[in-house]
């Protein structure tokens, strides 16, 4: 049990007598952290500037008193580091150089700044009792280590404050500074990407983002090549891809981490089937996004600090090994000139790299307002699903879309599809039987033949466009579809869907 009534209360000078706690940084650095680094971190990552502003407007509230412990004859703040850092900066704004002008402006509105120089603190009798108090206040247990994101944020704050990676490496020789700087760099390049989904953009910039999963990817050279990521000699991370292309890829990576489609367990080994399949998913998406970017001349912008002529496409260096940047980045060659080895221009290469469409064309399909909402929702899924990634799911979805649309079409025309003796169930075969007769009666012999083909079980090389195949993909556990099955099926039913959705 903690009895603070026995702890001494001291009045001390915040500038001359109090030191901020280097252990508060929780990077296992002990005495290696300077007070200036702690202050820079607290201002950058813990909102101390807002606290300075609050003190200026409301005053210094004493309902929570800082707790100190004596270490080597020094009074070190173990609880209340943010408040003490704010008070120190009010007395000397230059102690936070990156925020000096803002602190100076705010502090100039404090009528009697000198009154804040001395404050009351509680002196903990020992380190153990101080830790018990800190644990009780913040966690219910002893002090916890920082998250990987928070660790990266500490060193990013030092970089923002003007230090170079080399400075930090020399200052913290017992810490793998390169790892933290690279982690910060990769977080930055993903957080600055163009996302269509703002929720994902906020997620990657938050401390909730599972950076440990991203760390399973970015040491992989194939991943770096796909994403166009390059680490330069100063450990800056940039991408050579156009902004929109990189944004599409980054959004997928972040979404997959958020939904736990990827995690550290699934990406634990780069030679695992899942890891290799995931890289292939990114390659397919790159080809798709690349093809779209060739039609949009506005995509020359580059994210991050990657420079160069907007008309060039930089070739990434292949990444780094063991978090070490490579210095053998290939020279950038203009896209409109062939390489010396006779290679074709990059635009031609990109066009050659484009694969078959990965989404189904639904441009001419609209669902009547009189149809049930479910039909429109399913059409939306049909338009968005990637058939290269999910051919079986797409084939099953097409079967559902086809059957439900025919039923909605019949209901719109006042037709009861339930056949006599069917126990009340209407199957896809019933839908086809009615639709073929209906189309023939309307004189649409061509589409009637399409329905007859669909209703057949044996269509030679086009088995994948038959009722039997549609049923098999739904029920037969030994049957599977491939992307070309989906494309053939869609090509066969597309014109039919126009009629079904336009009663």
Of the two residues 196 and 355, the one the predictor is more confident about is: 196
Long-range contacts of 42-47 (CB under 8 A, 24+ apart): 42/81, 42/82, 42/85, 43/85, 43/89, 43/96, 43/98, 43/99, 43/157, 44/98, 44/153, 44/156, 44/157, 44/160, 44/161, 45/150, 45/153, 45/154, 45/157, 46/82, 47/82
Contact yes or no for 286/354 (Cβ under 8 A) = no
Of the candidate ranges 101-115, 253-267, 336-350, the one whose mean pLDDT is the lowest: 336-350
Which two tokens mark 351? 């066009």
Computed over every residue of the chain, the mean pLDDT equals 78
Q: Is the pLDDT of residue 197 over 50?
A: yes
How far apart are the C-alpha atoms of 32 and 264, rounded to whole Å? 31
For tokens 């149809």, the residue is 371
- 70: pLDDT confidence band, cut at 50, 70 and 90? very high
Segment 160-170 shows an average pLDDT of: 76
Helix (H) or strand (E) holding 376: helix 373-384
349 or 393, greater pLDDT: 393
pLDDT of 318 reads: 37
pLDDT band (50, 70, 90) for residue 58: confident
How many CA atoms are closer than 13 Å to the CA of 493, on its beta-carbon side?
A: 31
* pLDDT computed for residue 266 by the predictor: 92
Burial class (CB in 10 A: 0-12, 13-18, 19+), 38: buried
Asked if 384 contacts 484 with a C-beta cutoff of 8 angstroms, the reply is no
CA–CA separation, 338 vs 352, rounded Å? 15
CA distance 102 to 264: 41
Which whole number is the average pLDDT over 272-296? 82
CB-based contacts of 311, cutoff 8 Å, min separation 6:
300, 334, 335, 336
Torsion angle of C-alpha atoms 473, 477, 483, 487, degrees rounded to 10: -10
Q: SS3 string of 319-373?
A: CCECCECCCCCCCCCECCCCCCCCCCCHHHHHHHHCCCCCCCCCCCCCCCCCCCH
Q: pLDDT tens digit string along 390-436?
A: 889 998 899 899 999 999 999 999 988 877 655 678 888 888 889 99
Contact criterion met (CB below 8 Å) for 33 and 23:
no
| Pair of tokens at residue 161 | 């404050």
Distance separating the N- and C-terminal Cα atoms of the chain: 78
pTM score of the predicted model: 0.42
pLDDT of residue 410: 92
pLDDT reported for residue 254: 94
- Of the listed ranges 14-18, 198-202, 347-351, 352-356, the least confidently predicted one is 347-351
Of 52, 158, 68, 26, the residue nearest 109 (C-alpha): 52
Residues 6+ apart with CB under 8 A from 285: 248, 249, 252, 386
> What percent of the chain clears pLDDT 90, i.e. is strictly above it?
24
Helix, strand, or coil (residue 420): coil
């Amino acid at each position: 049990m903690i009895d603070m009534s026995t702890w001494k209360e001291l009045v001390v000078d915040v500038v001359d007598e109090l030191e901020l706690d280097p252990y508060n940084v929780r990077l296992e650095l002990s005495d290696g952290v300077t007070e200036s680094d702690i202050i820079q971190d607290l201002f950058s990552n813990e909102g101390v500037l807002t606290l300075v502003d609050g003190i200026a407007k409301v005053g210094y509230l004493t309902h929570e008193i800082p707790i100190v412990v004596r270490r080597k004859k020094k009074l070190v703040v173990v609880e209340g580091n943010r408040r003490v850092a704010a008070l120190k900066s009010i007395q000397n704004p230059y102690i936070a150089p990156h925020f000096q002008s803002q602190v100076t402006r705010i502090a100039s509105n404090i009528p009697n700044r000198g009154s804040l120089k001395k404050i009351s603190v509680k002196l903990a009798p020992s380190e153990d009792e101080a830790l018990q108090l800190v644990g009780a206040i913040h966690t219910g247990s002893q002090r916890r280590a920082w998250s990987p994101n928070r660790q990266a944020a500490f060193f990013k704050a030092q970089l923002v404050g003007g230090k170079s990676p080399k400075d930090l490496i020399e200052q913290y020789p017992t810490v793998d500074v390169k790892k933290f700087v690279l982690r910060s760099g990769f977080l930055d390049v993903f957080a600055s990407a163009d996302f269509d989904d703002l929720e994902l953009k906020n997620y990657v910039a938050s401390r909730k983002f599972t950076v440990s999963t991203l760390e399973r990817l970015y040491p992989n050279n194939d991943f770096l090549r796909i994403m166009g990521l390059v680490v330069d000699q100063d450990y800056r991370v940039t991408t050579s891809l156009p902004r929109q292309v990189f944004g599409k890829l980054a959004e997928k990576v972040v979404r997959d981490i958020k939904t736990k489609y990827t995690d550290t367990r699934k990406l634990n080994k780069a030679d695992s089937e899942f890891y290799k399949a995931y890289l292939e998913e990114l390659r397919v998406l790159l080809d798709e996004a690349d093809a779209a970017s060739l039609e949009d001349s506005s995509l020359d912008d580059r994210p991050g600090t990657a420079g160069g002529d907007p008309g060039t496409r930089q070739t990434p260096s292949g990444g780094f090994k063991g978090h070490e940047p490579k210095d053998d980045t290939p020279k950038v060659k203009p896209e409109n000139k062939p390489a010396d080895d006779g290679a074709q221009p990059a635009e031609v290469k990109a066009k050659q790299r484009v694969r078959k469409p990965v989404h189904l064309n639904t441009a001419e399909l609209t669902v009547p307002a009189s149809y049930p909402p479910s039909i429109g929702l399913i059409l939306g899924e049909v338009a968005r699903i990637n058939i290269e990634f999910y051919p079986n799911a797409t084939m099953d979805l097409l079967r559902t879309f086809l059957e439900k649309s025919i039923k909605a079409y019949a209901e719109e025309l006042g037709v009861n599809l339930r056949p006599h003796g069917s126990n009340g169930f209407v199957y896809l075969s019933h839908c086809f039987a009615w639709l073929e007769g209906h189309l023939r009666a309307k004189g649409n012999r061509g589409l009637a033949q399409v329905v007859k083909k669909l209703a057949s079980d044996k269509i030679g090389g086009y088995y994948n466009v038959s009722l039997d195949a549609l049923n098999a993909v739904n029920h037969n556990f030994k049957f599977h579809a491939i992307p070309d099955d989906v494309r053939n099926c869609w090509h066969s039913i597309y014109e039919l869907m126009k009629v079904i959705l336009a009663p």
